[in-house]
Amino acid sequence: MNTTLLEPSPARSAAGKSDYIRIEGLSKNFGAGNDGVLALKQIDCTIQQGSFVTIVGPSGCGKSTLLRILAGLLDYNVGNVMLDGQPIHGTRRDVGVVFQSSILLPWRTILDNVMLPAEVLGIDRKQARERAMQLLQMVRLEGFEHKLPRQLSGGMQQRASIARALLHDPKILLMDEPFGALDAMTRERMNIELQRIWMESGKTVVLITHSIPEAVFLGDKVFVMSPRPGTLERVLPIDLPRPRTMEVMSHPTFAAATASIRERFSHAASFD
């Protein structure tokens, strides 16, 4: 088996040394004049190569807007957004996106769903199939490649969605509340699985969540956003060893981090 996919990339050991994503003075306004809505205001931050960053904030604070700008799905009014030294304007092949819904095509098998980017991007089908099978093994869906989405649980569908987002070997994986629709127990298992997938793939991951414990459990850093217009209030490093298990939630560092974030949003009812 080609192990390129499964071995941590050099970015893993370089994490902390390379600012892979740089956002400077980012503002985003929807509409104009009195009817305009300022969604983001003066966002400044960097994200290091190979790291896992989580973003939390009240509903409507612009988290998804920020993610869509990073994905090239939205343009911005003011500031600079750079990925690996290049400005982000429009969609890019080196970015993968996972949304809250798996958005799997119901008439296609899991394998064919995972291979969909190959058709869109013109990737050789034989190579794409080999990579898709590797990815299905990595997300622990081997044996389900010929099943239809309706034959899989919600968590399994999201794992297929992650595999699809990784098919074209993007440099960065953006995730917009990917586990928000899952029950609590499935969500915990998916957190463990996502951590494993990230550690094996070596990708740079940015994940939005409404769950403070999820943000702390998964993140190397937690970006804490203010109510609209969204600003970056705080960047909270999470000094906990990897790999993390659910037992880490009883660690004093974990408790202190979640308490610190909750204190900032004690009057917000939009968090888990």
pLDDT per residue as tens, the chain (272 positions):
333 333 333 334 344 456 789 999 999 998 876 678 899 999 999 999 999 999 999 888 999 999 999 999 999 889 999 998 889 988 888 899 998 888 999 999 999 999 999 988 888 889 999 999 999 999 999 999 999 999 999 999 999 999 999 999 998 999 999 988 888 888 999 999 999 999 999 999 999 999 999 999 999 999 999 998 899 999 999 999 999 999 999 999 999 999 999 988 775 544 44
**Residue 166: closest CA among 194, 131, 199:** 131
Are the beta carbons of 89 and 72 closer than 8 angstroms? Answer: yes
Are the beta carbons of 262 and 92 closer than 8 angstroms? Answer: no
Say what the pLDDT of residue 33 is.
Answer: 67
Q: Are strands 86-87 and 78-83 parallel, antiparallel or unpaired?
A: antiparallel
Say what the pLDDT of residue 13 is.
Answer: 39
Say what the pLDDT of residue 34 is.
Answer: 67
User: Would you give the end-to-end CA distance of the chain in angstroms?
Assistant: 41
What predicted TM-score, i.e. pTM, was given to this entire model? 0.86
Identify the sign of the CA torsion 58, 62, 66, 68. positive
